[in-house]
Amino acid sequence: MRNDRYDRFGHDTPLDAIERLARKRAGAKLGWYMHAGVYLLVNLLLITLSATSGRHWAVYPALGWGLGLAIHGIVVFLVAGGGLHERMVQAERNRLVQQQGHSL
């Protein structure tokens, strides 16, 4: 009985590759949502502590961490999720194939 996950040469089927990529992207997006949730909770606590002390210092960690959160979001939703990564991988694959004189 043949395993449907692999073709006759033992390679993953295209659907398995798509499933793996979909899980990777979903995991990256879930990671960003968790990052954003922790950011909100921690910064609400810091704002509360800042307000009770009479000084407004909580804006500084919020801005710094917010920049990191924004960069994380750009990577997850625009770079990796937007197909840029796949296009770069395909370009490298094509370049390597041309160097070796083979075709995919």
Query: Which residue's entry shows tokens 């949730």?
Result: 37
pTM for this prediction: 0.69
Asked whether residue 74 carries a pLDDT value surpassing 70, the answer given is yes
Tell me the backbone φ, ψ of residue 12, rounded to 5 degrees: -60, 145
Q: Which one-letter amino acid corresponds to residue 87?
A: R
Asked whether residue 78 carries a pLDDT value surpassing 90, the answer given is no
Report the C-alpha gap between 68 and 38 in whole angstroms: 13
Asked whether residue 6 carries a pLDDT value surpassing 90, the answer given is no
Tokens found for residue 99: 């160097």
Q: Locate the domains of the chain by residue range.
A: 23-100
Asked whether residue 1 carries a pLDDT value surpassing 50, the answer given is no
Tokens found for residue 61: 């960690």
Count Cβ atoms below 10 Å from residue 95 Cβ, excluding itself.
10
